[in-house]
Amino acid sequence: MKEIRPRSFYAGSTIDVAKELLGSYLIHISPEGTAAGRIVETEAYIQNDPACHAFRGMTPRNRVMFGPPGHAYVYFIYGMYYCFNVVTAPEGVGEAVLIRALEPVAGVSLMRARRGREKLPELCGGPAKLVQALGITKEHNGAVLTAAPLMICRGEKIEDIVTTTRIGIREESPLPLRFYLKDSPFISKK
């Protein structure tokens, strides 16, 4: 296994962490087996941004975002899906990085069974899809990401990064806070 990212990695600038997570590996060891993917797309959510869950302050739903960096923030969206985020910035600052897409690298048959799909780009090409493929649930909200069963490991350094506006964010916050690997067939949207 590759080196697990230390908690200190997540304590810096959320935008920098969002870029540096590209190429890292998100791994979930579950009772059904291990599933892992290389992170190919992220979005940064900073506290003074109206699109960030922490913009209006701490609530029971977003409390994890204000906790120590290096934890999972898993939330329910559209009444049917979960999304996985990495808590960043110093404790007390509500910021996180949404993991938008993965390139499947381990446990592909398990991912296919969980997703009911065969093609690799359809397994983890979106935030709700990757959560389903990896078997991440609401019980992982607040989980530390520096030890099994849910962790992020160092990958290769990525140089060719595309920066653009985030997906699904309205005009009030069209910030260039989406980052992805150029030419990756596994990102959620071109």
Q: What is the pLDDT of residue 53?
A: 87
By residue range, what is the domain housing residue 100?
Answer: 7-181
Query: Binning pLDDT at 50, 70 and 90, where does residue 172 land?
Result: low
pLDDT higher at 168 or 83: 83
Please name the residue that has the structure tokens 């296994």.
Answer: 1
- 87-97 tens-digit pLDDT: 999 999 999 99
Element (H, E) at 112: helix 108-115
Residue 2 lies in a domain: no
Q: How many domains does the chain divide into?
A: 1
CA-to-CA distance for 137 and 129, rounded, in angstroms?
12
Q: What is the pLDDT of residue 51?
A: 87
Residue 189 lies in a domain: no
- 142-166 tens-digit pLDDT: 999 999 999 999 998 898 999 999 8
Q: What is the pLDDT of residue 38?
A: 98
pLDDT higher at 105 or 54: 105
Question: What CATH number is attached to the domain comprising 84?
Answer: 3.10.300.10
Residue 23 lies in a domain: yes
Residue 126 lies in a domain: yes
Residue 68 has pLDDT above 90, yes or no: yes
CA-to-CA distance for 17 and 10, rounded, in angstroms?
6
Token pair for residue 176? Answer: 């260039």
Residue 188 lies in a domain: no
